[in-house]
Amino acid sequence: MAKYSSFTTAAITHLPLAVVLTVLLLVAVPKAHGARAFFVFGDSLVDNGNNNYLITDARADSPPYGIDYPTHRPTGRFSNGFNIPDLISQKLGAEPTLPYLSPELTGDKLLVGANFASAGIGILNDTGIQFASIIRIGQQLENFQEYQSKVSALIGPDQTQRLVNQALVLITLGGNDYVNNYFLAPVTARRLQYTIPQFTKYIISEYRKILMNLYNLGARRVLVTGSGPLGCVPSQLALAAANGECANEPQQAAALYNPQLVQMIQSLNQELGSDYFVAVNAMLMQNDFISNPQAFGFITSKVACCGQGPYNGVGICNPTSNLCDDREIYVFWDPFHPTERANKIIVETIYSGSEKYMHPMNLSTIMALDSMI
């Protein structure tokens, strides 16, 4: 049930009884058949199992993935436990969204929302080609259209539009366009075509088109995350860095990408006339505990909990990998992805972080504003 803000409570005490009852109904009655829906688009940072249903190497369906999930079994999440969408669902007071490809996503479960994300994808269609069958962002948006048709058959087109307009949306793209495209090899087609600043400008312009498509499909509250500090993940420390320092070129790329993403979102909101898109500066969030892990109760931000080779950063996490005993004290779960505990810190910042991290507002502000509509 929606909580009343202090503003709402104070204001309604001075209104006639009939008006008070109307306001209480508007604030307290769940919207669009229950708690607000939640939709997720993007890559492995937010995929919760779609790739389990695909013929691809980009999967997290074997142990020790999921070791700290409630079932203690792999779910397709690239985490030891909950991932970012799970933790946001908890903030919304909702059950986790199911993968769009899950056969369980039928009936009333559709009204909770859906996770369309697919590990390995990027903004560009040529990102992740080495993973074969993955759900590229264009297909994710087509799946969103198909989803709306399914829901429309269930509750009607008007209610479906209301559900989508009032939903929270999370989209996470960009990191793979660097690490699984531009920097994939010493010489790549994109490296030959663009400098790092030129490539960044290009993918930002393509991301803008994706966000406009999302808007045209009805999304009105969209959290848009930038990339993390790409040069500081264990895979880069193992392959490209010297003496444990963050790899220079990927860090340069992330440092260009995140501020330009914020600027693009500001421009897009200005064009559309409202703050439909919210920039999540994931690089700044993660830099805090990568640069000073002890301040957050971690012992290391360099070594992955699960992996092999230097920094446990070589290859992928699998049943034969080195595995740490205490996942609570590691920033990184595998060579690329944060631990559940690091994800919790990220989501707390999404929820209550300052404008330094969340522009133009954080999730708690979004929820407070929307509860008054």
- Asked if residue 177 has pLDDT above 80, the reply is yes
223 forms beta bridges with 170, 278
Is residue 75 a part of any domain in this protein?
yes
Instruction: Give CA–CA dist 38/52, Å, rounded.
Output: 21
pLDDT of residue 25: 33
pLDDT of residue 34: 44
Q: How many domains does the chain fold into?
A: 1
pLDDT of residue 2: 33
Is residue 20 a part of any domain in this protein?
no
CATH number at residue 92: 3.40.50.1110
Instruction: Give CA–CA dist 352/296, Å, rounded.
Output: 17
pLDDT digits (tens, 9 = 90+) for 117-167: 999 999 999 999 999 899 999 999 999 999 999 999 999 999 999 999 999
pLDDT of residue 102: 98
User: Taking residues 343-358, what's their average pLDDT?
Assistant: 96
**334 noted as active-site residue:** yes
Is residue 137 a part of any domain in this protein?
yes
Rounded to whole angstroms, what are the CA distances from 322 to 73, 311, 318?
18, 10, 9
Is residue 200 a part of any domain in this protein?
yes
Could you tell me the two tokens for 225?
Answer: 């995350």
Using alpha carbons only, how large is the chain's radius of gyration in Å?
Answer: 21
Is residue 3 a part of any domain in this protein?
no
Is residue 320 a part of any domain in this protein?
yes
User: Taking residues 307-328, what's their average pLDDT?
Assistant: 96
Are 88 and 347 in contact by the 8 Å Cβ rule? The answer is yes
pLDDT of residue 372: 79
pLDDT digits (tens, 9 = 90+) for 196-249: 999 999 999 999 999 999 999 999 999 999 999 999 999 999 987 677 889 999
**Eight-state DSSP code of residue 182:** I
Left (φ > 0), alpha (ψ -120 to 50) or beta: where does 218 sit? left
Q: Which residue out of 86, 227, 321, 337 is catalytically annotated?
A: 337
Of 15 and 171, the structure prediction assigns the larger pLDDT to 171
- Asked if residue 79 has pLDDT above 50, the reply is yes
Whole-prediction pTM value? Answer: 0.89
DSSP calls for 22-33: HHHHHHHSPSSS
User: Taking residues 76-96, what's their average pLDDT?
Assistant: 96
**44 noted as active-site residue:** yes
Helices in the chain by DSSP H: which ranges?
A: 6-12, 17-28, 84-92, 137-155, 157-166, 175-177, 189-193, 196-216, 234-239, 248-272, 282-291, 340-352, 363-371
pLDDT of residue 3: 34
Q: Which residue out of 43, 86, 177, 334 is catalytically annotated?
A: 334
- Asked if residue 5 has pLDDT above 90, the reply is no
- State the residue range of the domain holding 282: 38-371
- Asked if residue 340 has pLDDT above 70, the reply is yes
Rounded to whole angstroms, what are the CA distances from 36 to 88, 98, 331?
12, 15, 31
pLDDT of residue 371: 84
Is residue 234 a part of any domain in this protein?
yes
Of 275 and 30, the structure prediction assigns the larger pLDDT to 275
**62 noted as active-site residue:** no
Is residue 110 a part of any domain in this protein?
yes
pLDDT digits (tens, 9 = 90+) for 278-301: 999 999 999 999 999 999 999 999
Left (φ > 0), alpha (ψ -120 to 50) or beta: where does 199 sit? alpha
Q: Which residue out of 43, 44, 102, 118 is catalytically annotated?
A: 44
pLDDT digits (tens, 9 = 90+) for 234-274: 999 998 767 788 999 999 999 999 999 999 999 999 999 99
Are 305 and 329 in contact by the 8 Å Cβ rule? The answer is no
Of 31 and 38, the structure prediction assigns the larger pLDDT to 38
